[in-house]
Structure 1
């Protein structure tokens, strides 16, 4: 295996992300398909004002990821595997043939509404940089209480961990973490407490919604960033997708898995390059690129080069 397509999560969004997609038939068709499934023009959600909504953010990220992946596939790119961080897992599932795009749009719209309605204000996520899991875990345990909930949420790298919870509780954890030697504590552009037990009820509602959705066996290797393992069973993937908003993201472990499986090229879908900066785990001659920073034809050429290096592939 050689090429991995990665799909970013909430926090990577930027105004104009859909308008910046390549002028390509596959991108235009994906935007149109999203709009048809929504019953409204998704491009209207792609502005700074609209992206204040969790619903707009998640739908735009889904559309951007699927659109770019389809552009690359149409031009001859040949991914072997996919992985998505949080909402990115839905775009990864569409790319791998697990979910129909229209179904993914409807599920993501529901997911985002459930999250936004549960925590309209006063909650969020904060990245703690420069402190290992053990010390941070102890600080979180010290602060977390029914009146001040806060949890470990994203394990992006050994020294980059995201916490989720109430704003006051996160501020207390951040202060204690900085006093314990953390380099920085930075709020993430997410207005809900994702990837923790605060969203258990919303995950259960999403699981019920999946009961009426067709889910297929993946055509590409599907790496779950919640389980940090490859999943093949459609029912298991459906449960993983439904539950991923309420369980921690194990992105670092997932990238270790990708390296062990032979990934040499990691290609990040738009709109940013956060996952590319976290992909330092590839072999010494491996490469990670972000579509937002790289020409479409260059990404296709890199994919072709990696495919040519694999025995048994044309």
Structure 2
């Protein structure tokens, strides 16, 4: 069910935002892993869970590799993103910053749902691993390109004939997904038009028809995973709405349907003031919120982890400026 967007909040509500594929990088969260015992404890425990399921040590992949390398192997990036996000959420909760809602984009919906209580954390990590395995087994290679331009640009032939709209983040930022062979001509056309773009560090064309081969394997696995009602509302960026229960197929739809982040933030802004806290690896969603908020909004957006080695400083700043919620 959805919550009426006309409901008004009397004071700022805290939203934990969880990002998806493409937000990862080697050494993400390293400062907190070295210095914050709660973050480290959860990362180590989740690594043990992942190792018990598929025999891989995700922590070795995150923290042993060269920071300059591209981190895009789905069998590792899927669980790595989940682990960092869930561990950071628990770190913030331990520090006294508790969410009133969670918001998930794509893969981030697994951690958002686990933190909000709709799915057990071990089941969520198992589902993340199974989905990664399904992509690897059934889908052709592809990719995603973030485009800094009006989404209306997608209507031009060079884009809509070669790709699918993967998501709209704010009024001048969107992403497309395409097969591997289509990525270079798309980038060439964008460059010719002097449009700023960035290829994301992903191996598949998420949010497009090119991943549909993985659906059957993943759906079969999810039949064995129990879902509950949850303890917090969950903002779904596939629907642009707030949910209080998760229907069958939810965890597939969030990676197949376009990301409607702009719509999700607009939906929340109609309800009142919010503190948007980015618990993803890169702080990207906080940036999207800052560019997407209405001019008169009194809401705020806060990153914690970024690729720039300011994790502990950002956490301290957040703790200093945001009062703990009861």
TM-score range with shorter-chain normalisation? 0.7 to 0.9
Query: For 1:115, what is the secondary structure of its paired residue?
Result: helix
Residue in structure 2 matched with residue 147 of structure 1 by the alignment: none
Change (3 A) 1:8 1:255: same
Instruction: Summarize deviations over 1:42-61 as a string: whole Å, max 9, x none.
Output: 21121356934112111111
With the length of structure 1 as denominator, give the TM-score of the two structures: 0.85
Instruction: Summarize deviations over 1:209-255 as a string: whole Å, max 9, x none.
Output: 11111211121120001111111123x1x522122222111111111
Residue in structure 2 matched with residue 217 of structure 1 by the alignment: 229
**Retained in 1: the 8 A contact 2:105–2:254?**
no
Instruction: Summarize deviations over 1:52-85 as a string: whole Å, max 9, x none.
Output: 4112111111001000110111121121111122
Cα RMSD for the two superposed structures: 2.4
Change (3 A) 1:172 1:52: closer
Residue in structure 1 matched with residue 183 of structure 2 by the alignment: 170
Distance 1:119 1:289 in 2: 35
Query: For 1:288, what is the secondary structure of its paired residue?
Result: strand
Is 1:299 aligned to 2:311, yes or no?
Answer: no
Query: Among residues 289, 292, 300, which one is paired with 2:302 in the alignment?
Result: 289
The total of aligned residue pairs comes to: 297
Distance 1:200 1:183 in 2: 30
Quote how far apart the aligned CAs of 1:261 are: 2.6
With the length of structure 2 as denominator, give the TM-score of the two structures: 0.82
Query: Among residues 19, 36, 40, which one is paired with 2:30 in the alignment?
Result: 19
Quote how far apart the aligned CAs of 1:119 are: 4.0
Quote how far apart the aligned CAs of 1:28 are: 2.9
**Unaligned runs of at least 5 residues, structure 1:** 145-149, 308-313
**Unaligned runs of at least 5 residues, structure 2:** 1-8
Residue in structure 2 matched with residue 30 of structure 1 by the alignment: 42
Change (3 A) 1:244 1:126: same
**Retained in 2: the 8 A contact 1:127–1:162?**
yes
Is 1:128 aligned to 2:141, yes or no?
Answer: no
Quote how far apart the aligned CAs of 1:190 are: 1.0
Quote how far apart the aligned CAs of 1:96 are: 0.5
Distance 1:25 1:12 in 2: 24
Q: Which runs of structure 2 are paired with 1:1-314 in the superposition (5 Å)?
A: 1=9, 2-22=13-33, 23-38=35-50, 39=52, 40-46=56-62, 47-48=65-66, 51-119=71-139, 121=141, 123-130=142-149, 132-139=150-157, 143-144=161-162, 150-177=163-190, 183-234=195-246, 236=247, 238-280=248-290, 281-282=292-293, 284-292=297-305, 293=310, 294-304=313-323, 307=325
**Retained in 2: the 8 A contact 1:18–1:63?**
no
Quote how far apart the aligned CAs of 1:194 are: 0.4
Instruction: Summarize deviations over 1:134-184 as a string: whole Å, max 9, x none.
Output: 34134267524xxxxx211121122211111123323334444555x5622
Distance 2:179 2:203 in 1: 10
